[in-house]
Chains A and B, each alone.
Chain A
Amino acid sequence: MEEQDYIQFESYLLGDLSKDESIVFEEKLKTDVSFKQAFEIYKDMSSHLKHEIENEQENSDFKANLDVISNMYFNKLEKDKTIEQPSHKFNFYKYGIAASVIILIGFFVFNQFSDPTYEDYNSFNTISLTVRSGENEAMTKAEHSFNSKDYKEAIIAFNEILENDYSNLEIQLYKSIALVETNQFQEADELLLKLSQGNSAYQDNAKWILALSYLKQENITAVVETLKTISQNSEHYKVAQELLNQLD
């Protein structure tokens, strides 16, 4: 094809050709096979670029959400299987177990007679970021630091991961926990607000951690407000209600 052909493709797609020009153009599409082939690729390529570039953020949100749902589904399958066959070793999937499943917060330790504190709720379970195929240094470091409660080091490693994979919501959530643990509330709350407003499966987890962050900051009004937004389907709903009752 000549330069002129591509310029004409663009004009046709934009609807910029006159009626007569369009008729000639469409006639050529019918009769000239190589013209038609080039035009079809040009058209599909334009649609591809539009989708990839214009919807970039939307697409990565979708993939992140899909990742969470997929992990939750397959982890549940694996868990059911483990119950059936107690000897079966637990396997972790690509990005480890979904956060919603593993952030089981130890709420049974608190003292019913004193005011609830952050420390009553912050016994976070260990995380697993073990990548199934191939070791990843940052993931290993993040996992190890987080699990040994070295949250400063964990934040460094999370940032490293996010540099290449900025839309990884699971890592963002873990990072926010580490930020709350190290009293970097402003950054933590910003991140958690973003996650809790997003359209992902991490929404309620983020709300729960945000409530804990406010609790640590002793901003009880904000704790109550945040707890009230946790949906009934969330696994944190029950503990959220209990905390609400304590605060009332």
Chain B
Amino acid sequence: MSAKKIHEDQKYVDGLAANNTFIIQTIYDKFAPKVINYIKKNSGDAYDAQDVIQETIITIYNQAKQNKLELTCPFDAYFFLLCKRKWLNQLKKIGGKEVTINEEVLSEDDDAPMLSFESSVFENKEALFKEAFLELGEACRDLLNATFKIKSMEEVAKSLKITYAYARKKKSLCIGQLTKLVQASPKFNQLKN
């Protein structure tokens, strides 16, 4: 992956991460029409398209913010596939219909299906992580909130009136608990499907 050349369209990804209004507007102007068209042709309307596009952009933003998205294909193909998969999965959920997602080749670029698939997995994983965090005990949640907000472990320890060593140990164990919760979820094994 690292050997591959980053596509110039990475600018859209970086622009999203920077909350650049101009870039976001450009993404709508350039790439939304194709998605709207597709959804309208496949039992949806403009409202559905608006939601799908918005959720997809949030996923890309989240992934980019965590430095986990390096675009090695055109944004167009990547974005369209991601929106398309999201819409088909929704159709499947609403209608219980069996929808086959066939990934027809959009361009000669092989990376678009792979990258968009990785983003879908990333999105499902994030949702699973959020669920796990809500299941966590209050003490752990407070500690983690403090840890990531305050940054300095010394100050966290001070604010919670515990020692530095204990705060750090506790942080590891709380994330350890989250790890276990994630592994125990039935959704975890479905992530890659």
Using a CB–CB distance below 8 Å, which chain A residues touch chain B? 1, 3, 5-7, 9-10, 37-38, 41-42, 44-56, 58-59, 61-63, 65-67, 69-70, 73-74, 77-78, 91, 93-94, 132, 199-201
Dominant secondary structure of chain B at its interface with chain A: helix
Interface: B32 (CB within 8 A): yes
- Cα distance, A31 to B25, chains bound together (Å): 47
Chain B residues with CB under 8 A of A69 = 21, 24-25, 28
Q: Mark B121-133, 1 if CB is under 8 A from A, else 0.
A: 0000110011011
Complex contact B175–A46 (CB within 8 A): yes
In the complex, the chain A residue whose C-beta lies closest to that of B20 is A199
B46: Cβ under 8 A from any A Cβ: yes
Give B67's nearest chain A residue, CB to CB: A47
Determine the residue in chain A with the shortest Cβ distance to B50: A74
Return the contact of B21 from the options A9, A73, A201 (Cβ within 8 A).
A201
| In contact, B66 and A74 (Cβ under 8 angstroms) | no
**Which of B58, B168, B169, B175 contacts A45, CB < 8 Å?**
B175
Given A48-B129, A51-B66, A53-B145, A6 and B168 touching (CB < 8 A)? no
A7 to B168, CA, bound (A): 8
CA distance A6 to B183 in the complex (A): 14
21 A-B pairs with CB atoms under 8 Å apart are A3-B173, A5-B176, A6-B176, A6-B179, A7-B169, A41-B183, A48-B129, A49-B133, A49-B148, A50-B66, A50-B148, A51-B65, A51-B66, A54-B148, A59-B61, A61-B19, A63-B58, A73-B25, A78-B46, A93-B47, A200-B21
Q: How many residues of B contact A (CB 8 A)?
A: 44
Q: With contacts A45-B129, A45-B179, A65-B21 known, what are 16 further pairs, Cβ within 8 A? A: A1-B176, A1-B179, A3-B176, A6-B172, A6-B175, A6-B176, A9-B176, A10-B172, A45-B175, A45-B178, A48-B125, A53-B144, A56-B149, A66-B57, A73-B25, A74-B50
B183 and A38 form a contact (CB under 8 A):
yes
- When the two chains form their complex, are residues B46 and A58 in contact, meaning their CB atoms are under 8 A apart? no
Residues A66 and B179 in contact, CB atoms below 8 Å apart: no
Q: A38-B183, A48-B129, A51-B66 are in contact. Are A62 and B61 (CB under 8 A)?
A: yes
Task: Report whether B54 and A6 are in contact in the complex, using a CB–CB cutoff of 8 Å.
Answer: no
Task: Please report the C-alpha to C-alpha distance between residue A81 and residue B36 in the assembled complex, in whole angstroms.
Answer: 14
Q: Assess whether B176 is in contact with A66, with CB atoms less than 8 Å apart.
A: no
Chain A residues near B24 (CB, 8 Å)? 65-66, 69
How far is A54 from B144 in the complex, measured between Cα atoms in Å? 11
Complex Cα distance A174/B18, Å? 26
A53 touches B21 (CB 8 A): no
Chain A residue contacts of B173, Cβ below 8 A: 3, 6-7
Closest 6 CB pairs of A and B: A6-B176, A53-B148, A10-B172, A73-B28, A6-B172, A7-B172
Chain B residues numbered 18-67 whose CB sits less than 8 Å from any CB in chain A: 19, 21, 24-25, 28-29, 32, 36, 46-47, 50-51, 53-54, 57-58, 61-62, 65-66
- Given A6-B176, A49-B144, A70–B53 Cβ distance below 8 Å? yes
Q: Which residues of B contact A7 (CB under 8 A)?
A: 169, 172-173
CB distance from A42 to the nearest CB of B (A): 5
Q: Are B179 and A38 in contact (CB under 8 A)?
A: yes
**Minimum CB distance partner of A200 in chain B:** B21
B171 lies within 8 A of chain A by Cβ: yes
B182 part of interface (Cβ distance < 8 Å): yes
